[in-house]
Amino acid sequence: MIPVISFVGRSNCGKTTYLEKVIRELKIRGYRVATIKHDVHGFEMDQPGKDTWRHAQAGADVVCISSPDKMAMIKRVDKELALDEVIAYIKDVDIIFTEGYKRERKRKIEIYRQAVCDSPLFPKEDLLAIATDTHLYDDIPQFPLDDARELAMFLEATILKPEQ
């Protein structure tokens, strides 16, 4: 089973920026990484007038596009899929990170920036770790926001290669 870690935090605390750093660090170490972003507002990936857009406009329920270096799938849904349903589509990776999905029961790493947030979003008991620019806790792993290497090493030791 592919491990799933949710990056959570209040708006504008730097979740995406920090997650980018963690992804880069794990890629340097040779890991295959997937991400799932939760968007409560809806999104558009296709471009009006392009062939795949035209297929969708004609009523296709699933539209895929494939090239020598990537592929994408857009699927119409009647209701938002549960996170585990989205995860089921992902194969051939070592770890899955989500951004958002704060209500899901997945291991969480909170991103907490003191200048932006009054307090952490979650109690420490609900967190695998916290990345922050201030000292918060002594009894859960805490990592600096300006350097994701330490968190990448922690994930490697505890999640990706725990038996070694």
pLDDT digits 0-9 by tens, 112-124? 999 998 889 898 9
Q: What is the pLDDT of residue 109?
A: 97
Q: What is the pLDDT of residue 164?
A: 56
57-71 per-position pLDDT tens digit? 999 999 999 999 998
Q: What is the pLDDT of residue 41?
A: 65
Q: What is the pLDDT of residue 31?
A: 98
pTM recorded for the entire structure:
0.90
Burial profile 56-68: b = 16 or more Cβ within 10 angstroms, e = fewer: beeeeeebeeeee
Q: Which domains does the chain have, with CATH numbers?
A: 4-41+78-160 (3.40.50.300)
User: Taking the CA of residue 77 as centre, how many other CA atoms within 13 Å lie in the half-sphere pointing to its CB?
Assistant: 11
Report the alpha-carbon angle 143-145-149, nearest 5: 60
139-155 per-position pLDDT tens digit? 999 999 998 999 999 99
Residue 129 has pLDDT above 80, yes or no: yes
Return the higher-pLDDT residue of 123 and 32. 32
Distance CA 46, CA 145 (A): 34
- The stretch 82-99 carries a mean pLDDT of 96
**Average model confidence (pLDDT) for the chain?**
92
Residue 4 has pLDDT above 60, yes or no: yes
